[in-house]
Amino acid sequence: MIMAASSEQIWKPYYPCDYYKQEYSDCTTVGHRFHSYYVYGEKPECGQWKKDYEACTAWMKTKSEEAKQELLKVEDRHLQQKYYVNPVWPRRVTPPKDWYLPVEEMRQKQKLQQQS
């Protein structure tokens, strides 16, 4: 599925409606539910995938502005979950001070700091 983004929107991936249907199907399997309960201590919420599929099919059938906005909200939510929520690595606000130095110079600098 390809939708034209307005000038204020950033590029977002758009998937065929079958993608949302498959995600819902995968989410409701016994194996996925067991894995989610084992890892997170709770069952996964699969209803949102079904709503996402319905929003996608509504967009494909009617091409209405409401359906388009709903699908854009879906993709925003997916991007937030996929790319912006990372419990392991903190997001940088600014680049490192010496980001422009070649790797070898940085290693030498680190060795000198460790020796002192």
Q: What values do phi and psi take at 52, rounded to 5?
A: -65, -40
pLDDT (0 to 100) of residue 5: 46
Instruction: For Cα atoms 16, 66, 21, give the angle at the middle one, nearest 5 degrees.
Output: 25
What local confidence, expressed as pLDDT, does residue 3 receive?
44
100 CB neighbour count, 10 Å cutoff: 8
| Residue boundaries of the structural domains of the chain | 17-91
The pTM is what?
Answer: 0.59
pLDDT digits (tens, 9 = 90+) for 46-105: 998 998 898 888 888 888 888 888 888 888 887 777 766 666 777 778 888 878 878 887
HSE toward the beta carbon, residue 113, CA cutoff 13 A: 6
- CA 13 to chain CA centroid, Å, is 10
